[in-house]
Amino acid sequence: MSTSKLKPVSRVTLGEQVAAQIAEQISEGRWKPGDRLPPESQLCAALSIGRSTLREALKSLAYVGLVQMRPGEGTYVLDNTRLLLDRIRTRGNLKTEQELDHVSETRLILETELAAMAAERMEPGDMQELEDLLAAMKRSLQGDGVDYASLDVDFHLAIAKGSKNQLLYELLVAIRNVLQEFIAKSQELPGIKDNAHADHVKIFAALRTRNPEKARRAMKAHLQTCERAFTLLDKISEGLADAQPSRPSAR
C-alpha cells in the first residue's frame, strides 16, 4: 500500500489550533474585514479554552496581519491580508513552505548553540558591539536609521562571532543572504519587529549574565516565534485560497 501522499504530522500548540480555527472562519466569510470579533469571554466559552490561550492565538493572528488588537476596544478583522500574503510569498527566492522550514531548522540548530557558547566566551568588546546594535535597532524602529532587517542580521552574526568558533561563524556568514531574506519577509508581518526587538533585548540580557542555558532558551524562543508565524501564514494562505469562489469552466 502506497504512503506517498501522507504528510509528516506537526506538533502544534493549543493556541496555534485556536488561531487556525479563527483564521478559517475569517477566510470563509463568517467575520469580514472591519468586523469586530466576539468578546473574549464568548470566544473562550465557544472554544472551551482559557483566556491566556485565546490571547496567544489572537497575538499570532495579529503578527501575520489578519486581525488588529485594539486595547479597550476589541479585536478587528483587517482587510489587507490577501495583498500581504501575496507580497510575502512571491518576493525573493524563499517562496515555498519547505524552503522557509529549512531556514528555520538551520537557524534553530546553529544559533541556539552559538548563543550558549557566546554567553561563556564573549569579550567586553563583543558585548559593546551588541549593545550598540540594539541601540541602532531601537532608532530604526522609531524611523531613524538603517533598515531593521539588516541590523537584525548583524545582531545574530555578532553573537555567532562572539562564540569564538570561527567555523560555525563562517557557516552562518555563508548563508547571510538567506538570513536577510528570511528576516525581511518575517518583518513584513505586522507586530513582528517590535516582538523581535523585545526578544533581542532578552537574548542580550542572558548573554550579559553569562548564562549559557538562559541564552540558549532565549534564542530558541525568538527563532520559534518567527517559525510559528510562517506556519500560521501558510495555513491562512491555504484557507484564503480554498475560500476563493471557483470560476465557471469555459465552454
What the block records as the C-alpha cell of 219 is: 534564542
Which segments of the chain does DSSP mark as H helices, in order?
A: 14-27, 40-47, 51-63, 81-90, 97-121, 124-141, 148-162, 166-174, 176-186, 192-208, 212-243
Backbone angles phi, psi at 75, to 5 degrees: -115, 130
Where does 14-79 sit in CATH, by number? 1.10.10.10
Nearest to 70 by CA among 191, 185, 186: 191
Can you give the residue ranges of every domain in the chain? 14-79, 94-237
Please report, in tens digits, the pLDDT of each residue of the chain (251 residues total). Answer: 554 455 444 556 788 788 888 887 887 778 988 899 999 999 999 999 999 999 988 887 877 677 888 888 999 998 655 545 555 555 555 556 677 778 889 999 999 999 999 999 999 999 999 999 999 999 999 988 788 889 999 999 999 999 999 999 999 999 888 888 888 877 776 667 888 899 999 999 999 999 999 999 999 999 887 777 666 666 665 555 554 544 444 43
Question: Domain 94-237 adopts which CATH fold?
Answer: Four Helix Bundle (Hemerythrin (Met), subunit A) (1.20.120)
Q: What is the chain's Cα-based Rg? A: 20
Could you report how far apart the first and last alpha carbons of the chain are, in Å?
A: 39
- Joined together, the cell numbers standing for residue 114 give 552559538
**Lookup: cell for 233:** 501564514
- Coil, strand or helix: which one is 67? strand
Contact 53, 18 (CB under 8 A): yes
Task: Fill in the amino acid letter for 57.
Answer: A
